[in-house]
Amino acid sequence: MSSFRLRLWLLGVALLLDLPLLAQSEVPTVPELPLWHGQQRTLRYQPDGTDFVIRNGTKRFTRALYGTNTAFRVETGDLPEFALYLPGMGGNLKFGLLSADGRSKWLIAAENIVARYRPGAMFYEISDPLLGKGKLQLEVQAMAEAEGLLVRAQFTDVPAGQVQLLWTFGALRVRSSAATATSGPTRNRAFT
């Protein structure tokens, strides 16, 4: 037997003898979750059919709704507060509740907020002691034929006169450069 064949045969025998030891010494490992900037990632949104849902989320302006074929968009998020991008900050729309006895609260501070993204729209289901056992549903969409925002609000199981829905809109700021629409991601400060 040539020395090469002998070495190959010995290597094969060594591998065969070592296989059971390798198989017994290997411990199954759980794959590590991916890190994002050195921190463990968590799943914030849960799929529900074609929707993505979050309960009592804390982020604003994380989901853009587009309507027209322009740079305009409506910035929505986990909380029911909305910003219009023209490009540049075009305004901020915020809703609140005012009870018959004078108590008030911004909707973003409500006790329970379920935010649901469905392609093209955001839906919010809000419950809070100011609403009693009832709920407030909001549906938000960007307009398709003009640059604007559509909001539908509906109280469910809230006695008439118990609470009013209030809104405020402000903070118009338009940047003069048309290049802002294509200059990359919008900085967070543009919507605060």
Write down the domain spans for the chain: 39-174
Percentage of residues in the chain having pLDDT higher than 70: 71
Closest CA to 140 of 56, 55, 46, 73: 73
Query: What is the Cα–Cα distance from 74 to 64, expressed in whole angstroms?
Result: 6
Residues 78-95 have pLDDT tens digits of 999 999 998 878 899 999
> Does the pTM of the predicted model rise above 0.85?
no
Closest CA to 138 of 126, 127, 124: 124
- Name the token pair of 87: 């490009």
Query: What is the Cα–Cα distance from 125 to 44, expressed in whole angstroms?
Result: 17
DSSP element (H, E) containing 16: helix 3-25
Residue 48: predicted pLDDT: 96
Strand stretches in 33-171, DSSP E: 35-36, 39-40, 46-48, 51-55, 63-65, 73-76, 81-85, 89-99, 104-106, 112-118, 121-127, 135-142, 149-156, 163-170
Residues 67-76 have pLDDT tens digits of 999 999 999 9
